[in-house]
A = this chain, B = another copy of it.
Amino acid sequence: MRGKHFPRPGTAPNVDRMKILLIGASGTLGTAVHRTLAGRGHEVLTAGRGSGDLRVDLTDPDRIAELYDRAGLVDAVVSAAGSVPFKPFAELTADDYRAGFEGKVLSQVELVRQGVSKIAERGSFTLITGVLGREQIVTGSAASLANGALEAFVRAAAIEIAPQRVNAVSPTVVTESLPAYGPLFAGMPAVDLADVAQAYVRSVEGGLTGQVLIP
């Protein structure tokens, strides 16, 4: 009865070498994700505002269209890019909330919205959100809003884009950033970049969709 309750050794699906478009490749997180995906044999095409194989300003939907045209057919789109203002509640302006929406939410929504007609038939999207979708810190209300928006979007978009897939990776503060951001996330457990990168692997190589992966 081997194989009744557990997969037999050697029966995992073969994941072929994929062509992966990685946005935000030059950041702390993007660098780790790049290293991990390339180390698993995938071809990684990097994109970023100021560096990478392809340049893109994610806040301009027209630039995202150009990005896809230049990238050609890819199997997975992986985002490690998004910016949102952190300020005390009393100092945040309407334009700050708009900036967070354009800089982290709509930019990644557009990667999916435009990407569905451009990437492989069974391709996937992996977006970046963050712990503030479910935890709260002072100065974090625009960030919480952005993460909550994306996580609900991922769950909803998934049911309409199948068999393509979409997930979010939602890390807490990363160990490597504790010197800079530790005080903001006082008392929250940190996560190593290598473990965050593994959540991207789960999303890209696995069959999950509509999930918020917490590494």
Residues of A within 8 A of B (CB): 61, 88-90, 92-94, 97-98, 101, 105-106, 109-110, 113, 116, 132-134, 136-138, 140-141, 143-153, 155-161, 210
Contacts and interface: CB of A to CB of B under 8 A. Distances in A.
A152 B89 CA distance: 14
A37 to B, nearest CB: 27
Copies per assembly: 2
Contacts of A146: 149
Contact of A94 (B90, B106, B133, B150): B106
A145 B141 contact: no
Contacts of A150: 145, 148
A106 B97 contact: yes
Given A97-B109, A105-B149, A141 B116 contact: no
Given A90-B160, A133-B148, A147-B152, 16 more contacts: A89-B116, A93-B113, A94-B113, A97-B109, A98-B101, A101-B106, A109-B145, A133-B152, A138-B160, A140-B156, A145-B153, A145-B156, A146-B149, A148-B148, A148-B151, A149-B152
Nearest to A151: B148
Nearest to A93: B113
A153 B157 contact: no
Contacts of A137: 156, 159
Contact of A149 (B61, B134, B145): B145
Contacts of A148: 133, 148-153
B97 A160 contact: no
Nearest to A133: B152
Nearest to A88: B160
